[in-house]
């Protein structure tokens, strides 16, 4: 088990080298190299089809299950090359994922959050109750659903489903949390609440935040990468990105809203 909080400053949580993702003949991501430090919120911005989602999908080896998806290059998670792990499910249990469109599984709200603990073998009712309540509270959903935990999770509103998927990701107790444009289907108030949650979570885990909102990256991320045309154009401290001390003209244009 990875001990949260304890880390050395030099080591990277995520070490990606020369990552290329292809779907058949189409190249979605090309030669990306970057490091994410422990307990950092790492933002990724860029226009549609820049390869942001493909990047996240490569990190938890979703490529194993998606036919036609090929990966080149290497990804190390906490120093471990993920390409040769013998139990890919154990790897995925350490990585929480939140999708752009919320996917409430067609199970009860309770079972949605209890699913991950159950998958890793937690059977005790009391323990499950505790995890469900804790995760729903952290995702700022508990008060709204505590009286109807038996209702179907897939029938909640969009904003509630998105917080449900965050609670579900937290129930994995992950080392790494991947968020893919979580605010697309969520109203601004809920977005702000989730952002507050993320700021707290960084005490315990590393977060990679793919976002279509440049300002969201500015509010949350320590460092931000700019993806464009399936390549990583630039990585910089977030503040530098917005104060104009970046090298690449394209990054400056995107941040200032000139295209994308």
Partner 1 sequence: MSQDASTRRNAAATEFDRRDSSWWTDRIARTVVFAGGISAIVFIVGILLFIATQGLEFAATRLSWSEFFGSIAWRPNGHPAEYGALALIAGTASTTAIAMVIVVPLSIGAAIYIGEFARGKTREWLKILIELLAAIPSVVWGVIGLHVMGPLMTQAFGVPSGLNLLNAGIILGLMAAPIMTTIAEDALKAVPDTYREAAEALGATKWQVVFRVVLPHARPGLSAAVLLGVGRAFGETIAVLMASGHAINIPHSLFDPVRTLTATIAAELGETAEGDDHYQALFVLGMLLFVITFAINVTADSIVRGIRRKKA
Partner 2 sequence: MSAQDSTFLKTEHEEKSLRQQKLVRMFLMFMTAMLVLPVLGILSVIVARGAPGMSLEFLTEPPRANMTAGGISFALIGTVWLTAVALLLALPLGVSAAIYLSEYARDNWLTRLINIAIVNLAGVPSIVHALFGVGAFVHFLHFGKSILAASCTLAVMTLPVVIVATRESLQAVPQPFREACWSLGATRWQTIWRVVLPNSGSGILTGVILCVSRAVGETAPIMFTGAVLYAPFSPEGVFDQSMALSTHLYNVSTQIPNVPPGLPFSVALTLIGVVLAMNATAITFRMRLRGRKKW
Element (DSSP H or E) covering residue 159: helix 158-170
- Distance of closest approach, residue 109 Cβ to partner 1, in angstroms: 24
Q: Which stretch binds partner 1 (CB under 8 A): 28-36, 74-82, 147-155, 163-171?
A: 74-82
Q: Who contacts 52 (Cβ-Cβ below 8 Å, separation ≥6)? A: 44, 46, 180, 181, 210, 227
Indicate the pairing of strand 206-210 with strand 41-45.
parallel
Query: For partner 2, which is the closer residue by CB, 50 or 164?
Result: 164
Cα–Cα distance measured from residue 115 to residue 112, given in angstroms and rounded to the nearest whole number? 5
Cβ–Cβ < 8 Å for 166, 98: yes
Least distance from C-beta 228 to partner 1, angstroms? 30
Question: Of these, 95, 177, 179, 232, which contacts partner 2 (CB under 8 A)?
Answer: 95
The whole-angstrom separation of Cα 188 and Cα 185 is 10
- Residue range at the interface with partner 1 (CB under 8 A); choices 79-87, 135-143, 186-194, 223-231: 79-87
Q: Count of residues binding partner 2 (CB under 8 A)?
A: 30
Sign of the C-alpha dihedral computed for residues 138, 143, 147 and 151 taken in this order: negative
Which is closer to partner 2, CB of 118 or CB of 247? 118
> 85 or 185, CB closer to partner 1?
85
* Contact between residue 250 and residue 233 where contact means Cβ atoms under 8 Å apart: yes
x/- contact string, 105-134, with partner 2 (CB under 8 A)? Answer: xxx-------xx--xx--------------
- How much helix, strand and coil, in percent to the nearest 5, is found in the chain? 40, 25, 35
Q: Is 126 among the residues that bind partner 1 (CB under 8 A)?
A: no
Interface characters, 8-47, with partner 2 (x: CB under 8 A)? ----------------------------------------
- Could you give the strand order of the β-sheet that contains 80-81, starting from the edge strand earlier in sequence? 26-36, 14-23, 69-77, 80-81
| Span of 1-9, 20-28, 182-190, 235-243 interacting with partner 1 by CB under 8 A | 1-9
Beta bridge pairs of residue 251: none
Q: What distance in Å separates the CA atoms of residue 92 and residue 142, rounded to the nearest whole number?
A: 25
Nearer to partner 2, 173 or 234 (CB): 173
Q: How far is CA 104 from the centre of its chain?
A: 16
What residues numbered 28-67 form the site for partner 1, per CB under 8 A? none
Q: Which residues bind partner 2 (CB under 8 A)?
A: 60, 62, 65, 67, 89-97, 99, 101, 103, 105-107, 115-116, 119-120, 152, 154-155, 165, 168-169, 172
Q: Which residues bind partner 1 (CB under 8 A)?
A: 1-3, 6-8, 11, 77-80, 82, 85-87, 89-91, 94, 119, 121
């Amino acid at each position: 088990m990875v001990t949260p909080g304890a880390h050395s400053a030099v080591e990277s949580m995520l070490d990606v080298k020369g990552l290329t993702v292809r779907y058949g003949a189409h190249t979605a991501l090309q030669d990306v190299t970057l490091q994410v430090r422990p307990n950092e919120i790492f933002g990724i911005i860029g226009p549609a089809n820049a390869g942001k989602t493909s990047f996240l999908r490569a990190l938890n080896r979703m490529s194993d299950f998606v036919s036609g998806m090929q990966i080149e290059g290497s990804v190390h998670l906490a120093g471990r090359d993920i390409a040769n792990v013998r139990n890919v499910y154990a790897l995925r249990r350490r990585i929480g994922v939140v999708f752009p469109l919320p996917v409430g599984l067609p199970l009860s709200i309770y079972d949605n959050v209890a699913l991950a603990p159950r998958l890793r073998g937690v059977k005790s009712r009391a323990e499950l109750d505790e995890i469900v309540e804790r995760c729903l509270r952290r995702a700022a959903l508990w008060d709204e659903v505590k009286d109807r935990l038996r209702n179907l999770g897939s029938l909640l509103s969009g904003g509630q489903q998105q917080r449900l998927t965050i609670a579900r990701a937290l129930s994995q107790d992950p080392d790494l949390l991947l968020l893919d444009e979580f605010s697309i289907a969520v109203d601004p108030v809920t977005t702000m609440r989730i952002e507050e949650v993320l700021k707290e979570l960084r005490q315990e885990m590393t977060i990679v935040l793919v976002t279509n909102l440049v300002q969201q990256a500015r509010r949350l991320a320590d460092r931000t990468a700019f993806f464009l045309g399936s390549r990583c154009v630039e990585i910089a401290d977030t503040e530098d990105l917005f104060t104009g001390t970046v090298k690449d003209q394209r990054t400056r244009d995107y941040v200032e809203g000139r295209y994308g």
